[in-house]
Chain A
Amino acid sequence: MGFRLPFGDWVETGKDWIENNLDWLLTLLGDIWNGLYDTANWVFTSPPAIVVIVVLALAAFVFRGWRFGLGTVVGLTFIIGVDQWNNAMDTISLVIVSAFLALLVAIPLGIWATRNKTVSNIVKPIMDFLQTMPAFVYLIPAIAFFGIGVAPGIFATVLFSLAPGVRLTELGIRSVDKEVVEAGQAFGASPRRILRQIQLPLAMPSIMAGVNQVIMLSLSMVVIAGMVGAGGLGGDVARAVSALDIAIGAEAGISVVILAIILDRFTGAFGNKRAKSLMDRLFHRLPGGGDSTDESTDVADTDPNKGEDRATMQGALT
């Protein structure tokens, strides 16, 4: 058995080269990410916990209804009760920054892939690679490039959560009715206009499913990133594992689950019509009074994605 492929050595050489030559870039990225994280963290930790809970509960009520609002209050109160509030806010900040960065890359990449076959062909295997690589492996280059702290956590999380954002954006745009796109072309619309007025709006349910997936994957990776000192709930989980402390493990673990549910329900609501008509009312012309209620019920019927939410939504409406 003399055959031994020095693949690991090659990768290490590559890593060394990046460390030696792109140090300025890594430092810059690290600084930016830390800055973003500090900002997000400031938003969540500087006001008293009660204020954050009230704001989140109100948002939950507006987007989905009173059940979700109530659930949010109960869940967050539990987190305070088990003394994980600060950890939870750190984790949420990490998730928000990571998911934001991942989407910043994923959505344009997905759009580009729909327009260019070559890009699509290159992106696809890379996404397969990123998605199937064991999550822990991302931590190794993360530490190598960024040391210990928040930055490596963000780096690993972005890589890990990127794939569904790209895939679902591409899928969503590709599955927009070809005839409707043709209609745009036939009336002389530019590709940019078709993207903005036809493809993106019609692909929105799929893109929103992608956003939801990215956020959920971010959360799971952010917890793992606790092992490289990214802090938050993940830090406590990692400590509990190494110390076999089931009490802390359970408290931090349940807190993660609560955050996951809240984040999932929030992002799931982005695609639904209640949220959309709300946005319309906030940002566009104000439609007639009776009109908007009409619209929200009507949309619940036509929204293909969120069948399971319909009952809750309609319950909230009546």
Chain B
Amino acid sequence: MTETTALKVDGLYKVFGKHAESAVRKLEEGATRDSLDGSPTAAVIDTSFEVQRGEIFVVMGLSGSGKSTLIRMLNGLHEATAGTVEIEGEQVTGATTKLLRDIRRKRMSMVFQHFALLPHRTVLDNVAYGLEIQGMPRAEREAKAREITQVVGLAGWEDKHPSELSGGMQQRVGLARALAADTEVLLMDEAFSALDPLIRREMQEQLLELQATLGKTIVFITHDLNEAMFLGDRIAVMRDGRIVQIGTPEEILTDPANDYVEQFVQDVDRTRVLTAESVMRKPRAVVHPTSGPHGALKTMRDEQLSGVYVVNRNRTLVGWVSDRDCLDLVRKGVKDLKSIVRADHGAVSNDTALSELFIPSLEYSLALGVVDDKNRLVGVIPRVTLLATLGGEPGAAAQAIPDRDPIPTHVVDQALEAAVHSGSIKIEEVN
């Protein structure tokens, strides 16, 4: 286990019912879950993964996939039938009752699907619950709980009872209770599933915001793939007690491990998961500021483009030029491109979500430029590519017709020839 690993799960099994051990042996020998006859029910089968510090690790699966059992084994609420769970180097599996209680107090806290607040206690006392169990004196824990209550946006509600709060607010109390305990690992069991969609989205965003400052290690259970994709740094997809794939949201989406995952991701809102980087293609052509209007015009003619990006030798983006402006310059005999380079290129950064590309791609006449963190042009996204990606077949864009009509070739040719005649460029440059 390395320094950066917060949680390590190895070969974990959970079988309910009689003859659990022999069922594990059968499963190890390759038996399927359904082939176990009689009473034992295998909820979790041969599960292994590691969660890094500061990571949001999402376990995604439908009901009955064993994900709730899995998360309860992480903090020992369910005892493992076989396998090990290690948190920051400490064994959860096989720990004595006392050690286990200690681990739960100091190492991990949990947020529950139906909030699981103590209805007879005020918001403040609920938030302070974990601290109370840790043995913190009243004044100290109340001060800390007050602080956390503010962080989650419940200032002013400290003395209310949970029943006086809306669902979203109740779950904020649940979240605050877990955060107040100040443990490295946060287990979230379908934490937002009981909330209505608008509130759910709000809570997801708040969680990401909090996570940006707190940097907790979060294991998040959900049945909602969109939620998994939105929150997860990595996602484990579970089916029938087994993990069928672990990967980043993009990997799951673009490279599903099997038909099951593929079927699953069909309904995902791709535009929120995929980034500009994953759909961009190589720019068909770029020009350098030094290449002059003739060169630029020729490039555009050859590639049937109405505009082209201008980049420096080190590929940093300068702007773009349109074919009509170039044509004017050529006609006027100006040799420097600088006067017509437009800076309003509207390029987006490479980690922008697809959903945020649609409006920019409408607003700018060129294929949308994509730049990396050093402002280098790394790719472009033509509108057809966006559409094709939405349709699930990015390749279809290749056959699409270019989007904006460039100047007809013969007009360009005429202009270039005229330029040759007037002596401003040489004949070789045109062909």
Contact = CB atoms under 8 A, between A and B. Distances in A.
A183 B112 contact: yes
B138 to A, nearest CB: 11
Contacts of B164: 298
Given A187-B129, A188-B104, A302 B163 contact: yes
A220 B372 CA distance: 85
A187 B109 contact: yes
Contacts of A302: 163
A179 B171 CA distance: 13
A182 B120 contact: no
A188 B105 contact: yes
A202 B130 contact: no
Given A197-B118, A198-B118, A202-B120, A188 B112 contact: no
Contacts, number: 64
Contact of B116 (A182, A193, A298): A182
Contacts of B134: 188
A46 interface: no
Contacts of B114: 177, 179
A188 B101 contact: yes
A31 to B, nearest CB: 41
A261 to B, nearest CB: 30
The range of chain B's interface size is 20 to 34
B117 interface: yes
B118 A190 contact: no
B104 A186 contact: yes
Among A177, A183, A193, A302, chain B packs the most CB atoms within 10 A around the CB of: A183
A187 B120 contact: no
Interface in A184-228: 185-190, 193, 197-198, 201-202
Contacts of A202: 119-120
Interface in B149-173: 159, 161, 163-164
A183 B181 contact: no
Contacts of A278: none
A316 interface: no
A186 B104 CA distance: 6
Interface string B259-293: 00000000000000000000000000000000000
B90 interface: no
A180 interface: yes
Contact of B77 (A180, A182, A298): A182
Nearest to A194: B133
Interface string A155-186: 00000000000000000000001011011011
B113 interface: yes
Interface in A60-114: none
A180 B102 contact: no
Contacts of B159: 291
A186 B77 CA distance: 7
Contacts of A198: 118
A189 B133 CA distance: 6
Contacts of B118: 180, 183, 197-198, 201
B75 interface: yes
Nearest to A201: B120
Contacts of A298: 161, 163-164
B117 A188 contact: no
A-B CB proximity, top 8 nearest: A188-B105, A188-B104, A183-B116, A186-B110, A179-B116, A187-B130, A188-B101, A180-B116
Interface of A: 177, 179-180, 182-183, 185-190, 193, 197-198, 201-202, 291, 298, 302
Given A182-B72, A182-B110, 13 more contacts: A179-B113, A179-B115, A183-B117, A187-B109, A187-B133, A188-B101, A188-B102, A188-B106, A188-B133, A189-B101, A197-B118, A201-B120, A298-B164
10 contacts: A179-B114, A180-B119, A182-B72, A183-B110, A183-B118, A186-B109, A187-B105, A187-B129, A188-B103, A188-B130
